[in-house]
Amino acid sequence: MTQDMLLGNEEPSKSKETFLEKFCVLAKSANGAALLDVIRQALEAPNVFVFGELLAEPNVAQLKGGPDAKYLETLNLFAYGTYKEYRAQPEKFIELSPAMQKKLQHLTIVSLAIKAKSIPYALLLSELDIDNVRHLEDIIIEAIYADIIHGKLFQNTRILEVDYAQGRDIPPGYTGQIVETLQAWVNSCDSVSNCIEMQIKYANAEKSKRLLNKERVEQDLINLKKVLKSQASDSDESMQIDTHGPGTSGGLGLGPSELRKKPSKLRNPRSSAVGLKFGK
């Protein structure tokens, strides 16, 4: 046996035969010991793991409160109960044959697999009233080959990982709880849907704001570029007027020829004075 065993990988059969049907047909016309024998055969049958249709038969329902009520209680146990319940009050039920005990243990594994996908060996040992791990693994493998569970055994960590578990019969009155659970799930889905819609609306509003802001910023940039271009053009025209227009020499109103002549008149004023002195 390997350290971990992958078993029951195949998808559960979609067209599995209803093996209980023949027992329902027999129960319709059976009474007394014949009816009790039909019930025992159904409880031992290797391919029968649901019993709701048989429990619904009038002849079977009439066993309630009678001398053979234990048969009805045992049938209810196999439909809805577990092996631990049987071990707690064995006097309430008929004496189970080895085949019946093993089937009830298999059904107990199914009940555990429906509740959790990872089942420790310790829990299985307790629920099945087994003190031997090898025996426990054999029972699990038998349940897998019976196609009521699929899973993988991890011997190192002592865990059964469940991939699939067959459903069991629904107890009377449990339908209301299922409806409440489904309604709560629907309400939760509606709340999540409403929350998502609100988030979508908020995101769309924020997107619109960002687009408007982007357009405003782009328009401001265009206007700023126009202003800067206009100022640059005015500055170029001003520089051209100051460079080529009249009075560019400091505002004295002198042309280039006057600027050349002026210094000659002011040059060497002392020489003129000396010349006047010698003239006398």
Residues 146 and 178 in one domain: no
Determine whether 144 is exposed, middle or buried from the number of CB atoms within 10 Å of its CB (0-12, 13-18, 19+): buried
In-domain check, residue 260? no
Across 83-106, average pLDDT: 95
Residues 46 and 162 in one domain: yes
In-domain check, residue 39? yes
In-domain check, residue 244? no
Query: Average model confidence (pLDDT) for the chain?
Result: 82
Residues 114 and 189 in one domain: no
Domain residue limits at 143? 4-172
pLDDT in tens, 39-87: 999 999 988 999 999 999 999 999 998 999 999 999 999 999 999 999 9
Residues 195 and 112 in one domain: no
CA–CA separation, 73 vs 78, rounded Å? 9
In-domain check, residue 157? yes
Q: Of residues 192 and 260, which shows the higher confidence score?
A: 192
Residues 150 and 187 in one domain: no
CA–CA separation, 73 vs 85, rounded Å? 12
Residues 11 and 142 in one domain: yes
Whether the pTM exceeds 0.85: the reply is no
Q: 207: which residues sit within 8 A by CB, 6+ positions away?
A: none
Number of domains in the chain: 2
Residues 90 and 227 in one domain: no
Residues 46 and 178 in one domain: no
Residues 108 and 179 in one domain: no
